[in-house]
Amino acid sequence: MANNQFSSGLESGNFVVTSDPVHQAWAAIEHQRQINPNAEPDLYNEIQPEGRTIIAFGTPLASLQGQEGLVSSATLKEKDFAHFEFLCNKSNPVFSINQAAINLFHSHYDDLLILKNKLVENSKSKSPSLIMITGQSVGGSVATLFTLWLLQGLNLSKTKRPLCVTFGSPLVGDEDLRQCVLQFLTWKSCFLHIASNQDPTPSAFLSRNTISAYKPFGTFLLCSASGCACFEDPDIILEQLVKTNSQNAQNQDLNFGCHYGKILGDLKCISLRNAFKSTEGLADSLQASIITQLRAIDVLSQQQPVTEVYSLIGRMKKHETKLLIQKKKNSDSDKKLNEMKVYMAFLEWYKKESKQRNVGYYDMYRNQWNPSDINVNEYKKKLMNYWEDSVTEVENKPQLEGAHFQVRWLYAGDTYRRMVEPLHIADYYRDGRKNYKIGGKRPKHFILLEEWYKQEQEQEEKKKQEKQKQERKAEASPLKSKREKVGSSLNDDSCFWENVEEALILLKNGVLTTEDKEKLKKFEDYVWNVLKNYAVSPEIFLEKSSFMLWWRECKKIVEQPYSSLLMEFMKGRYYEEYKVGRFDPKKCGLCQ
């Protein structure tokens, strides 16, 4: 695996130092300083070059000494400042943030809230601009916190992700914070931190007592007079910040650090051809590329024991290999979902076969009449195992808008739930049990898939209504669409058959108590509501289905005269019209 690997940190570094957004970010910081160079700078300044909105955070003139420590999110919550609680998840319920950065953020909270709301609102426009957040020194730390906060409010499925570029910024939090950020798969790519080996500020908070507490996240562009390279391994980044910056800690003003405009300009002109010397004979392409990275940031020119150098290279190789494995895992995840779709296709064929037998797939599986039921049971197990694992993985992540499954996973999960949960219900009632939805017997992943899908539908419905309101155009109603597709539909409620099974249990004794009659009335109302909304498959009306069995038994037991909308529907055989999408309660005189 290693022989075919290549670390792209050097190429990424060259790309970064020549990219316009990075130079625009630094120009915004310079502009922010020049507004009033002799006064305390404003916390932030907003400029709008073509197609972009850049928010540049200033650097306070106050001393940073004594604020190297970390503040727990639990402590912030106790102080009624829980604005970063959205980052918490089951695996990391608590994290810590640098004291200087959070104090500065806290003291300007009202202004930052106005800014956040403005950017979120602008992101909803027809042509939203790219948002860039930048800052130097502690201003960069606040920029990082603000970007995290802003990401929580943006609908990233509809707008571009913001880009946060910091220059010589101290680290903002601990390992738990890093893990919380990584739970949002796309957020890490929003952060680019630029640090020079001549700038002590990035390691300003890394005192002897706090080095092990802090952990970086995002991409770091580490710079030297020889060149630059990008790194993402938090341990390597932390190690280099400590080694290269500690020797300069007394020689720089921590408030302003280095002039990164000059550093970027010099790097843009540097040719890195010499960095490849002495690597041409290496058969290991990964090791060769790592050596060029280390030369570029001037690590190999430092007097370090050979053992330390080889140890560093070994750890970097291990990290790159881990990334390759993760990429393969992500690719395998897509393949696994496609494999599950094959099993779903098999169930579709089973559903068609059962319909030809005039029974419906729920009842054919429940009664185990067919040899193919064995295969269906196997497909069901594989599908349930996959979705249980997938839902558990997502559940452990922070639950923000857009933080659930990607849309295609969400819709695939909903189709799975409506197709497979009826089979699970069939197994449950075949064993003589009852009250499926009571006492935690319904599998949790079915509940969550249903909840998440409903949330997505509600959001989509709000967007449609807003769009109709703006455009003042009438669209085809959802009910009309359901009528047209009813012949091949699944039940919207994957627990429909649980309700039928419980209704059948009511009729077993042949006599209905007062309580039974109330339950029967609730069941009829439930069925009537799903029918008038075309939310149930016409398969329930197949002659051998459990629902038709209920209907036949109900007619025998219910005392006459008795009437209900469902009874009139069944007696009038309006289900024949329902099957072809022509049933209309108003035209049939079946309205409440």
Residues 417 and 489 in one domain: no
My answer on whether omega of the bond before 561 falls inside 30° of 0, hence cis, is: yes
Asked if residue 368 is part of any domain, the answer here is yes
Q: How many domains does the chain have?
A: 3
Q: Are 465 and 475 in contact (CB under 8 A)?
A: no
Residue 320 in any domain: the answer is no
**DSSP-based three-state secondary structure for 224:** strand
Backbone angles phi, psi at 45, to 5 degrees: -135, 140
Cα distance between residue 318 and residue 289, in whole Å: 14
Helix (DSSP H) and strand (DSSP E) numbers for the chain: 21, 9
pLDDT for the residue numbered 219: 92
Provide the b/e sequence for 193-210 (b: ≥16 CB within 10 Å).
Answer: bbbbbbbbbbbbbbeeee
Residue 408 forms part of a structural domain = yes
467 plus 494 within the same structural domain = no
Domain boundary among the residues 245, 274, 303 is at 274
Distance CA 202, CA 222 (A): 11
Closest-CA residue to 219 (of 22, 3, 4): 22
Please report whether residue 10 resides in a domain.
no
Half-sphere exposure (CA, 13 Å, Cβ side) for 105? Answer: 26
67 and 179, same structural domain? yes
Q: What are phi and psi of 134, to 5 degrees?
A: -145, 165
Do residues 542 and 450 share a domain?
A: no
183 shares its domain with 197: yes
What one-character DSSP code corresponds to residue 161? P
3-state secondary structure 51-113: CEEEEEECCCCCCCCCCCCEEEHHHHHHCCCCCCHHHCCCCCCCCEEEHHHHHHHHHCHHHHH
CATH of the domain at 33: 3.40.50
Chain length of the chain: 592
**Beta carbons within 8 Å of 525's beta carbon, 6+ residues apart:** 566
Whether 504 contacts 320, CB under 8 Å: no
State whether 494 and 418 are in the same domain.
no
- Within-domain flag for 14: no
Query: Which residues, in sequence order, are bridge partners of residue 167?
Result: 136, 194
Same domain, 419 and 548: no
Within this chain, do residues 470 and 483 fall inside the same structural domain, yes or no? no
298: nearest Cα among 397, 362, 385, 224: 224
> What is the dihedral sign for C-alpha 448, 453, 456, 458?
negative
Q: What are phi and psi of 73, to 5 degrees?
A: -65, -30
Backbone angles phi, psi at 131, to 5 degrees: -95, 125
Are residue 70 and residue 184 in the same domain, yes or no? yes
Domain end marker among 220, 253, 274? 274
Closest to 23 measured CA to CA, from 130, 119, 129, 134: 134
Best CA proximity match to 99, nearest among 123, 56, 65, 59: 65
**Predicted confidence pLDDT, tens digits, the chain (592 residues):** 444 565 667 778 888 888 889 999 999 998 877 766 655 667 888 988 888 899 999 876 555 666 778 999 999 999 889 899 989 887 889 999 999 899 999 999 999 999 999 999 988 887 888 999 999 988 999 999 999 999 988 887 778 889 999 999 999 999 999 999 988 878 888 999 999 988 888 887 776 556 678 899 999 999 888 888 888 888 888 888 887 655 555 554 555 568 898 988 888 877 444 444 445 555 567 777 777 777 777 776 666 666 777 777 777 777 777 777 666 655 566 778 888 888 999 999 999 989 888 999 999 999 987 888 888 999 999 999 999 988 887 776 654 434 455 667 888 899 999 999 999 999 999 988 999 998 788 999 999 999 988 888 887 787 777 766 655 544 456 666 777 677 667 899 999 999 999 999 999 878 888 899 999 999 999 999 999 889 999 999 999 999 999 999 998 888 767 788 898 899 989 999 888 888 888 777 776 5
- Report which DSSP code applies to 440: S
Whether residue 443 lies inside any domain: the answer is yes
Angle among Cα 171, 174, 179 to the nearest 5 degrees reads: 110
| 360 and 406 belong to one structural domain | yes
Tokens 């703006």 sit at which residue? 470
Residue 307 lies in a domain: no
Whether residue 416 is contained in a domain is answered as yes
Q: Are residues 546 and 590 in the same domain?
A: yes
Residue at a domain's end among 460, 475, 490: 475
Instruction: Residue 45: name the closest of 33, 34, 35, 32 by CA.
Output: 32
Domain range holding 574?
Answer: 478-592
Beta strands in 144-244 (DSSP E): 163-167, 191-196, 219-224, 227-231
- Nearest CA-CA partner of 24 in 68, 1, 55, 2: 55
Q: Are 88 and 95 in contact (CB under 8 A)?
A: yes
* Residue 280: Cβ within 10 Å count: 7
Same domain? For 155 and 248 the reply is: yes
* Nearest Cα residue to 534 out of 585, 495, 568: 585
Roughly what angle, to the nearest 10 degrees, separates helices 138-153 and 109-122? 50
Q: How far apart are CA 408 and CA 385, in angstroms?
A: 19
Structure tokens at 319: 């990290």
Phi and psi at 383, nearest 5°, equal -65, -45
**E strands along 173-246, which residues?**
191-196, 219-224, 227-231
CA–CA separation, 154 and 161 (whole Å): 8
